[in-house]
Amino acid sequence: MFLLLVSPGLRSGTVALADGESLKYRVSWGILSHAGEISVTARAEELAGLPQLRVSTLTATTGVARKLYKFEARGECLYDGADGRILAAITNSIARKKKSHAMAVFDYGTGTMDYRDYVRPEKSGTHAIPEGSVTDLITCLVQTRSWDMKTGDRRPATVMFDDDFYDLTIVAGDIEKVDTPWGEVDAMVLAPIMEKEPKGMFKRGGKVRVWISQDERRLPVKLEISMKVGTGTAHLTDYTPPAAGLVAASK
């Protein structure tokens, strides 16, 4: 479930993460205050002289939680550094003894995504890319850095999960206080909902909330997923800003 939230990406034309930027989270679940950790890092690259951005994620259980339920997922996403469109994504995970390994490659010339599942090849296939910008859930929420959403605002978004696309509505809620490594901050609560034909975790009654800081960085300082089996919460514990040159350029 947290993999759905933290697989990083970009909206077309807007960069959610910049070269050198990284975020780390501590995950709690029930009575386990340190059940897992999440890390997200971004690194600028070039291929044949073309700028690209590689975003890597690692989600894993730790300590007692790892002994009870071993989970580890790694993701690599590659984006066009010029227009911000996702070019390719690959994921590997292990949950107890269950493994997954899949890759998606986007061809905007043909408007298709080639999806390959190396563990369950029957799921492999070619899918049409929906119109507009396609991204993942956490990127939609991080993109509120530039959306300037106010309480009560609603904004549509199309997100990708595995070989499927979800049409969501991002709803802006109230401003709440959240503890962070640099002190208490004001954060807006955002809730992605699936209003038309819910599927996946949304069909099963799952709920997601993300707290976006209202300072100039607009960071996702807290993530929460509620399911019938319980609620998991991720708190931002460490943040590294982008390289100085990019910060100056963005200003």
| Every domain of the chain and the residues it spans | 2-250
pLDDT at 137: 65
Tens of pLDDT along 46-85? 988 889 999 888 999 999 999 988 999 998 888 888 888 8
pLDDT at 25: 94
pLDDT at 195: 80
Residue ranges of E strands in the chain: 22-29, 32-47, 50-61, 71-80, 86-95, 98-107, 112-117, 125-128, 134-135, 154-161, 164-180, 183-193, 207-213, 220-227, 230-240
pLDDT at 142: 63
246 token code pair: 């990019």
CA dist., res. 26 & res. 234, Å (int): 5
CA dist., res. 233 & res. 33, Å (int): 9
Tens of pLDDT along 164-187? 788 888 899 999 999 998 899 999
pLDDT at 135: 66
Pairing between β-strand 98-107 and β-strand 112-117 as defined by DSSP bridges: antiparallel
pLDDT at 161: 73
Where the chain has pLDDT below 50, the residues are 1-13, 245-251
CB atoms within 10 A of CB 79: 29
pLDDT at 10: 33
